[in-house]
Chains A and B, each alone.
Chain A
């Protein structure tokens, strides 16, 4: 089966060690996690992890079921890129002089709709949000001018399918065992 990029969203109880339990499922099968982001969700005490991997769908399905099997995982789902709205943020630290010299660098920043976050005598920090291809394109163009530092966040993603986490949690809380 063909490998594709999938976004896996894992909703868990907010407890110490959870990230470890989640990543073990991937490392056991030697699956590389391309990016990961952790944050709160819209529901108090439920955290969400957003992971990006490239795998065959069949494998992704199995992994998601094994994630859901973890006692403190509330829900795990996977989506193709077309089923999520997603974004990443990248920060670039470049020498301030290359921007002041009136050359190409400034044009590049404008053309990419990037923002200048902070200007210091020695360096300037630029921010760009977008998909990885977009933040990478800016990187590639700025790099010849001297890249002092670069960082890109993990993907954060909102799923398009409409069932809300709240309704899922409410259903789970209703069930009596």
Chain B
């Protein structure tokens, strides 16, 4: 690992576990994880998982365990790691409260299709169902929010259960899996031999591409006068960035992204027409209701994207490229469905679509873009108001870092601003909690992202509210010397909720004002360099200092208290009713 480990004891390698043959269940757990190529995992110990921790002690050279400060921190860190690397994130916790503390992150990973393997300890099998100390039915609790889960009660089940867990987590549409292991199974001996899992009859991770559907899609696309592409995380998950770019460049079709799809296509690509959804860009929202063929790729028409479904792209024929059959025609009817992995489908589709350029149609986007620039963007990036805006802070980071950061956000106004204004060159550079909208995600996810991509600059952008949901993870940063640049955009409000109160609840600011502590004092207690910026003229220098600083840095920017995020598609409105103010 290339990050320094501050307060860790000198590592004394014992390495007594054989890789095969007789061993305890807990050693088998550890060896199975290593066999899957994992070298970093996150977790928090406790009674029911202690044997596994004991086994981890012997393999510290091969498998680093990062001690979070809360199991929610561990699971979000594993998510950040997975999102930044494309690999499976692994986290581990004890039974009862340890396991329940994972649930928010598991639900987040489920709805955002993040590959995770979560391992929980469980009370001994003879105590199951008896309300034993720290017993919760975590298999039951996690069932609705896992792709798969399983309870192990015998050591001999361990290698297969873990092999299956990794296979299911990473294949097809990825997702979180949970393996719950009773304490007696961890102690029991097993003759260990690891065989990677390769498939099961009840699970078809990659549907077979139907070339007829590709032809039907190509026919619609070729005949379109005003085609429009919506793309989501499916591009990133299937590693289809190149195929996607080839496809849009050949067809000349403007493409807009969901916030999970952000960074799959570089921000300044001439066909990238911006962000979809509630706080997305003006042009792609408006023109959704003017296109004649809507091509959705690796996205699932979330309600934050579509607004009122009854008035969503009714004029258009819809082509949906999607790996998960249950997402097709779930929210928006697909006239042509290509049920396949995006990479494969786009490769085939690119072969048979005709070269085109829809310059006139593209110009419509440009015109509306200008309108949005004048009405919204210019004021956000170059404000005349006395107080700083979130957009100008983000813009300054863009300017000084050449769009090469991994940006991790929390949830709220700063998240929407980050998605709108950060620019990206490389895929997997935006990590945000989309489907679940989990406040508290940012800091631990940024830690995981940095540990997965130690050579990248990781910037964590978070509100004063969300920062306080998981700020205990500063302890993890401190212990492992994790170099994350934290930017708190402080508006002394739960900003996004306040904005809704302003717009829809007559400015009745019920429980959204924040009386905040001195963040500088708190953060510096963790040995992290801090700076607070209240005035615009200090901003550029502060950001320069932050980006050049070796090691973690904390920048608090005081922004206008009652600034709003615009444009906005109010709940229940149609995308074409998007408001600029």
Contacts and interface: CB of A to CB of B under 8 A. Distances in A.
Contacts of B328: 65
A71 interface: yes
Interface string A93-122: 000000000000000000000000000000
A164 interface: no
A165 to B, nearest CB: 12
B202 A71 contact: yes
B326 A66 contact: yes
Contact of A176 (B149, B168, B199): B199
A65 B329 CA distance: 11
Contact of B203 (A17, A62, A71): A71
A133 interface: no
A151 B144 CA distance: 31
B206 A62 contact: no
Given A62-B326, A66-B326, A177-B206, A24 B144 contact: yes
B129 interface: no
Contacts of A62: 326, 329-330
A17 B139 contact: yes
Interface string B192-218: 000000111111111010000000000
Given A12-B202, A71-B203, A73-B202, A20 B140 contact: yes
B527 to A, nearest CB: 44
Nearest to A75: B202
B143 A24 contact: yes
Nearest to B171: A177
B326 to A, nearest CB: 4
Contacts of A173: 201
A72 interface: yes
Given A13-B202, A176-B199, A28 B326 contact: no
A172 B139 contact: no
Given A62-B326, A65-B325, A177-B199, A172 B204 contact: yes
B324 interface: yes
Given A17-B139, A177-B199, A68 B326 contact: yes
Given A20-B140, A20-B143, A24-B143, A71 B324 contact: no
Interface in B199-257: 199-206, 208
Nearest to B168: A71
A176 B204 CA distance: 10
Interface in B143-190: 143-144, 147-149, 151, 168, 171
A13 B205 CA distance: 17
Contacts of B198: 177
A138 B30 CA distance: 62
B3 to A, nearest CB: 35
A69 B325 contact: yes
B199 A68 contact: no
Contacts of A1: none
A172 B205 contact: no
A172 B325 CA distance: 16
Contacts of A24: 143-144
Interface in B248-299: none
A166 interface: no
A25 to B, nearest CB: 9
B340 to A, nearest CB: 14
A65 B202 contact: no
Interface in A129-177: 169, 172-173, 175-177
A55 B151 CA distance: 34
B68 to A, nearest CB: 28
A129 B536 CA distance: 81
Contact of A74 (B143, B201, B205, B326): B201
A5 B204 CA distance: 29
A24 B143 CA distance: 8
A17 B143 contact: yes
B204 A72 contact: no
Contacts of B326: 62, 65-66, 68-69
Contacts of A80: none
Interface in A21-37: 21, 24, 28
B205 to A, nearest CB: 6
A133 to B, nearest CB: 34
A172 B200 CA distance: 9
A71 B177 CA distance: 11
Contacts of A17: 139-140, 143, 149, 151
A163 to B, nearest CB: 16
Contacts of B204: 172, 175, 177
Contacts of B202: 12-13, 71-74, 172
What 6 pairs across the A-B complex have the smallest Cβ distances? A65-B326, A172-B201, A74-B202, A71-B148, A177-B199, A69-B326
Given A69-B326, A71-B202, 14 more contacts: A12-B202, A16-B151, A17-B139, A62-B329, A68-B326, A71-B148, A71-B203, A72-B148, A72-B200, A169-B201, A172-B202, A175-B204, A176-B199, A177-B199
24 contacts: A12-B202, A13-B202, A16-B151, A17-B139, A17-B140, A17-B149, A17-B151, A21-B143, A62-B326, A65-B325, A65-B326, A68-B325, A68-B326, A69-B325, A69-B326, A71-B168, A71-B200, A72-B202, A72-B203, A73-B202, A173-B201, A175-B208, A177-B198, A177-B206
